[in-house]
Amino acid sequence: MRELCLHILDIAANSVSAGADKISITIDENLKDDTLTIEIADNGKGMSPETVKQVMDPFTTSRTDREVGLGIPLLKFAAESSNGWLTMNSELGKGTKVSVQFQHSHIDRMPLGNITDTLLSLQLCSPDVNWIFSVRKNGKEFYFDDKEFKNELDGIPLTDPNVIRFIRNLFEEGVQEIQ
């Protein structure tokens, strides 16, 4: 994968597949500490400690359409290649949290990618999930919890073109404000 946002999409898709109905994504760029940290937490079915170890192995997957799962191992390798780390904590019946950190200025750190399109894609592709997005840069934060937003729509679908345009503008303006 060429961008970190693609890894975010991959992990979030795994969360949805694990039955999560609440997924929180935090992206924190801290130039003072020279770090880029990404956390994805869900309330899905969770995993046993043995399964977490297997997920870190590039030759193991729970999917039936292929025999290897490269998402987490590739992200871990990318983090470690950029003076960073990846941790995965999970508990059966409670959910999973993936945390990854990179040295922000490291020459081998992948670009973050298009945050707005990533968040919008997640929102539109899994509208039944309660998405919580937090994008931080140097202490400033754009925060979006879609729970109230969905209530305000009062039955108007997220796929309505006016709603999509509104969400896109909200995300673009929010992310621009913290830059």
Residue 83: CATH number of its domain: 3.30.565
Cα-to-chain-centroid distance, residue 33: 21
Q: What integer pLDDT is reported at residue 61 of this predicted model?
A: 55
Q: What integer pLDDT is reported at residue 57 of this predicted model?
A: 80
Q: What integer pLDDT is reported at residue 71 of this predicted model?
A: 86
Cα–Cα separations (whole angstroms), residue 11 to 38, 58, 112, 169, 178: 11, 14, 15, 25, 25
Number of domains in the chain: 1
What is the spatial distance between Cα 22 and Cα 82, in angstroms, rounded to a whole number?
A: 30
Q: What integer pLDDT is reported at residue 58 of this predicted model?
A: 74
Low-confidence ranges of the chain (pLDDT < 50): 65-68
What are the helix and strand counts (H, E) for the chain? Answer: 6, 6
Please give the residue range of the domain that contains residue 94: 4-178
Q: What integer pLDDT is reported at residue 60 of this predicted model?
A: 60
What is the spatial distance between Cα 135 and Cα 114, in angstroms, rounded to a whole number?
A: 12
What is the spatial distance between Cα 84 and Cα 169, in angstroms, rounded to a whole number?
A: 33
Q: What integer pLDDT is reported at residue 56 of this predicted model?
A: 84
On whether the CB atoms of residues 134 and 141 are closer than 8 A, the answer is yes
